[in-house]
Amino acid sequence: MTYLRSLQIPFSFADDSTLHGCLPPGPLAAARKQLADSLNSDLEKIDTWGKEWLVTFNASKTTQLIVSRRRYTNHPAVSFQNTNLPSSSEMKLLGVTISSKVSLEDHLQSKLRAASRMIGVLYRLQNVLPLSSMLQLYKSLIRPHLEYCSNLLDSASKKSIELMEKLQRRAMRILGCTEPVKENILPLSHRREVGALSLLYRYFHGRCSKEILKLVPTLQHFDSSTSRSASKHPLSLAIPRSRTSQHQKSFFPRSVRSWNSLPPSVFPIEYDLAQFKRNVNRHLKSQYQ
């Protein structure tokens, strides 16, 4: 079970279920007690539903994860089927390791280890398979480990980000740093930037859930007579304010800054995600070539 910044909402994937909750406004101690009571009530309803529909839940395999950058002790008990749930320092949800410290380091380290093992396999196949097959193996089996949930990765440490690029450079040395290889394997940072801007483009045009659409920053309005307005395109967004460096590196603040720096020519007249992605890719490549 997880505490997150949302209402208490259950999510089910195959045979796993997760219940999320957030601290309501008010004094901290009272808010924590209120959240625990609400979670306990929801868990009791889940248990009752399971008994009615003959669905068995295993309380011994259920844990709670308190996601916060603050250090708390003496949390109000959260129980399921008369069992107090033990706290965990991390959990894996849809392949992403979520840490109680709001850190992606554990997730990245697991992906780096998986990619490194696969690159070892690539090394052993370099004299067996043609270059086209080796490229396909890298792009389909190794690079996905380095890009899984890439829109979250820029909040990780610079050391971990550099390790990802280092692994890709290692793979490129195995493949041979020829022009075909360089054309097919762009820097991971470039691919993350294109992916983030493409995702923001979808969100901006409402191709997302209502909950996400509410998070999209509003358009900026500039006085047409100012020099600043001349340097901005009509779709410039207000940059969300950040009180912490971690939030500053999160998806919306980071992506909006990149979005606002794009030239107007990048944006298609009508919604066209594929064309926007091609335009962004071409524009960003021109910046470092």
Residue 64: φ, ψ to 5°: -120, 145
pLDDT of 1 above 90: no
Question: What is the C-alpha separation between 59 and 57, in angstroms, rounded?
Answer: 6
Mean local confidence (pLDDT), 216-230: 70
Could you tell me which residue, 141 or 243, shows the higher pLDDT? Answer: 141
Least trusted range by pLDDT, from 36-45, 70-79, 197-206: 70-79
CB-based burial of residue 115 (10 Å sphere; 0-12 exposed, 13-18 middle, 19+ buried)? buried
Could you tell me which residue, 221 or 41, shows the higher pLDDT? Answer: 41
pLDDT value, residue 5: 36
Q: How far apart, in Å, are the Cα atoms of 35 and each of 59, 100, 251?
A: 20, 17, 27
Q: Which of the four pLDDT bands, split at 50, 70 and 90, describes residue 230? A: low
Could you tell me which residue, 265 or 70, shows the higher pLDDT? Answer: 265
pLDDT value, residue 15: 63
Q: Provide DSSP, the chain.
A: -EE-SS--EEEEETTEEEEEE-PPSS-HHHHHHHHHHHHHHHHHHHHHHHHHTT----GGG--BEE--SS---SPPP-EETTEEPPB-SEEEETTEEEETTS--HHHHHHHHHHHHHHHHHHHHTTTTS-HHHHHHHIIIIIHHHHHTTGGGGGGS-HHHHHHHHHHHHHHHHHH---HHHHHH---HHHHHHHHHHHHHHHHHTT-S-HHHHTTSPPBP---TTSHHHHTS-TT-BPPPP-SSHHHHTSHHHHHHHHHHTS-GGGS-SS--HHHHHHHHHHHHHHHH-
Neighbours of 131 (CB within 10 A): 14
Residue 21: φ, ψ to 5°: -150, 165
Question: What is the C-alpha separation between 136 and 132, in angstroms, rounded?
Answer: 6
Least trusted range by pLDDT, from 86-95, 137-146, 167-176: 86-95
pLDDT value, residue 17: 79
pLDDT in tens, 256-289: 999 999 999 999 999 999 999 999 999 999 886 6
- In the chain, where are the structural domains located? 2-99, 105-185, 191-288
Residue in this structure with the two tokens 């097959």, named with its chain if needed? 133
Question: What is the C-alpha separation between 27 and 7, in angstroms, rounded?
Answer: 18
How would you write 97-125 as a 3-class SS string?
EEECCCCCHHHHHHHHHHHHHHHHHHHHC
pLDDT in tens, 108-159: 888 999 999 999 999 999 999 999 999 999 999 999 999 988 888 877 788 8
* Conformation bin of residue 94: beta by default, left when phi > 0, alpha when psi is -120 to 50: left
Query: What's the chain's average pLDDT?
Result: 86
**Interstrand relation of 90-93 and 96-99 (parallel, antiparallel or unpaired):** antiparallel
Question: What is the C-alpha separation between 175 and 210, in angstroms, rounded?
Answer: 44
Q: Which of the four pLDDT bands, split at 50, 70 and 90, describes residue 190? A: very high
